[in-house]
Chain A
Amino acid sequence: MNEEKTALDQNRAPIYEALQTFRHMRVVPFDVPGHKHGRGNPELTAFLGEQCVGIDVNSMKPLDNLCHPVSVIREAEELAADAFGAAYAFLMVGGTTSCVQSMVLSTCKRGDKIILPRNVHRSVINALVLCGAVPVYVNPEVDRSLGISLGMRREQVAKAIAENPDAVAVLVNNPTYYGISSDIKAIVKMAHEAGMYCLADEAHGTHFYFGAGMPTSAMEAGADMSSVSMHKSGGSLTQSSLLLIGPNINKGYIRQIINLTQTTSASYLLMSSLDISRRNLALRGKEVFSKVVGMADYARQEINAIGGYYAFGRDLVNGNSVFDFDLTKLSVHTRDIGLAGIEVYDILRDEYDIQIEFGDIGNILAYLSIGDRPQELERLVSALAEIRRLYQKDSRGLMSQEYIDPQVVTSPQEAFYAKKKSLPLRESVGQVCSEFVMCYPPGIPILAPGERITPEILDYIEYAKAKGCSMTGPEDPDILYINVIVDQDLKTNERSRLIG
């Protein structure tokens, strides 16, 4: 955070303060929720604690209303905007998914094109299903040896913009799940010059606004909107997030868009957690994240000293598709010890009682935060050393995670709502998929609605399943069958436009 920029008193936490006052008033509730400060549900109260259920209350004048904030919630939002250097900040209670939806719904209409990298989170493509916008994918560069998708190259974005001058927005992952940032400043500039909005998915970038030496944040880069998962590195409760906007966005219109899908009974547990976490970040974020980076650097060094593993960091930076790297992320490439990332992930949990964020085909990701202590890092590093000693195999025959270029046949919305039939996986080659298939986490689709199913994609799905990845998306929970579009009679003009 740029300290000169903060004009407001970041020691304040208006929602938290209002809830404290409310608690002391001992107000008699003849309104919802029906548990009445927990008295009506003693088992829940015993489980969650009186402190917690006592502030699970409904909107009321002294506590403001998230649908139309005029007092304490508005003050909290202004403080958040101030702390993040945004023109305005919306408290969000439907997770970062709801932020992403609001960004897409407020900039794209049915048939509009949006330029985005293919390794977006499912919530982005879900939003396209809702509004009917059409994706123009920029294929992310792939690091062949690590098997991970990187960021978007500047030239690729420029080409997509030149080829699609009618597109309305460009969306950027800032950073990816693995911590890789694109050159967001340059991308914002290109988008604005072409009259397009620049939207950022900062689900993994909250700390960019507070830590020292972090990659550039979306607001600093001049992006128009950003979705920030406060509950990831920001420390707030799960499901609470922030939607940030820049100066050229109409705040009242965004509020209307948010209210299309947001609950009218927003949880004060979530909102107060955002308020308290924002205060903590503004006051102590810099110190907190320098400790986290210190721990991650130490772990990288120790893991690389084991041999066989590759814990990568800024060494990947190439000035373009890896413009910067988030050093708080502890990603480790495992293929050279002959194990898929997902296998190391499973062994860590089953044999060593260590739960990490995810494992994919070639890598694992351990999520580090201020909640971590050096002694637990020593356990993680030692367990990795043991896994190498006990489980190391020949790495031949392991699949590398290739990026599979998607063939978009129709818009996600059209595919999702089209007449469809269920086919056994292997019989679906050549058909157009009407649902998502992804490993979760990271939740990046292998197939999205409207894309052609190819043999390579099926090989990949079967390999990931065999290695133990959690696959989600399709109606069939076992993913033996997949839904495809029956009616291939897509509007020909739309089809050619999309393929072209």
Chain B
Amino acid sequence: MNSPYEVQAPREMELWFSEFHAPDVKHSIRVTRHLYSQKSDYQQIDIFETPEFGKVLALDGSVMLTERDEFIYDEMITHVPMSVHQNIKDILVIGAGDGGVVRELARYDRVRRIDLVEMDPQVVEACRVYLPENACRLDDSRVHIYFDNALRFIRRKSEEYDLIIVDSTDPFGPSEGYFTKEFYGICYNALKEDGIMVNQQGSPFYKHDAEAMQRSHKRIASTFPISRVYQAHIPTYAAGYWLFGFASKKYHPIDDLDAAKWLSLNIGTRYYTTKLHIGAFYLPAFLEKMLEEVEK
């Protein structure tokens, strides 16, 4: 028996970040240090360091990205449309103030212009300081950052972009307007005749998220002639299971994939492959059913 007075190794402080993924489900990550905590005009912004996921950005208490798994999201929301439409030159990115999406897009030489519309300048400032791996290409000469309401910005555009990427927060906060029919409508109008819109489409697993996903899919499907959903596995998002919407005026996400051409560009990726591209559009039965319900 050990003596009760035996000296034990000092234990680490129990500091945890927790987020509700559903009213009865919580996801927790151990935190080593809180690096940044500010309330902007739009939201609460936090950046902290964690042993498992590296630095984490949370907005209004929800994880937006972690250094460990952001590559999955940023690769899937960019390379899927880029490998389908070979002439994407003018791109509009909504949200994405951390810079991860822009970093992926900037890897393509053919891209001429990336307009980034982010409502909250404080997110960009914080990410430049604390998440330089993501923000590294924000100063690329092709990138133009506009701090504006996206609805207001896009409303003034007509047939101007080849690709619009909607990298918003969830539909229950300041980004609610980016899940509406009027938003998808003005995006349609801002795209050229063969343009594509890709958006983060939430998760189909927990009830609250699933309903929001269905609502926005319904609105996209009634706006664009081609509207498909694809999936990815992202550990720190609700249920670890995330969806993207692929809405297009002309190109089909699988039939028009030019794998050889994309491979010839030699863009090294960690998650995306042209085979996975096709597979990502094959959905589980329950999800197919949910989408069909609202496509009628």
Residues of chain A touching chain B, judged by Cβ–Cβ distance below 8 Å, are 302, 306, 351-353, 374-376, 378-379, 381-383, 385-386, 389-390
Contact = CB atoms under 8 A, between A and B. Distances in A.
B185 interface: yes
A381 B155 contact: yes
A386 B187 CA distance: 10
A375 B182 contact: no
Given A351-B181, A352-B180, A353-B180, A379 B186 contact: no
Given A374-B149, A375-B149, A389-B189, A382 B183 contact: yes
Contact of A378 (B177, B181, B185): B177
B181 A386 contact: yes
Interface size grouping (class) on chain B: 10 to 19
Nearest to A375: B177
- Which residue among A352, A374, A386 has the maximum number of chain B CB atoms within 10 Å of its CB? A386
A385 B186 CA distance: 8
A107 B182 CA distance: 51
A353 B184 CA distance: 14
Given A351-B181, A378-B177, A383-B181, 10 more contacts: A375-B176, A375-B177, A378-B149, A378-B151, A382-B152, A382-B186, A383-B180, A383-B182, A386-B182, A386-B185
14 contacts: A302-B155, A352-B181, A353-B181, A374-B149, A375-B174, A375-B177, A381-B155, A382-B152, A382-B182, A382-B186, A385-B155, A385-B186, A386-B182, A386-B185
Interface in B93-117: none
B247 to A, nearest CB: 15
Interface string B152-174: 10110000000000000000001
Contact of B151 (A353, A381, A390): A381
Nearest to B186: A382
Most interface-central of A378, A383, A385, A389 (chain B CB within 10 A) = A378
Chain B binding surface SS class: helix
User: Top 6 nearest A-B pairs by Cβ distance?
Assistant: A378-B151, A383-B182, A386-B185, A382-B182, A382-B151, A378-B149
A389 B185 CA distance: 9
Interface of B: 149, 151-152, 154-155, 174, 176-177, 180-183, 185-186, 189
Contacts of B155: 302, 306, 381-382, 385
Contacts of B174: 375
Contacts of A385: 155, 182, 186
A379 B219 CA distance: 15
Contacts of B186: 382, 385-386
A379 B151 contact: yes
Contacts of A386: 181-182, 185-186, 189
B177 A379 contact: yes
A297 to B, nearest CB: 15
A439 to B, nearest CB: 26
Contact of B185 (A302, A374, A376, A390): A390
A69 B294 CA distance: 58
A24 to B, nearest CB: 33
Nearest to A374: B149
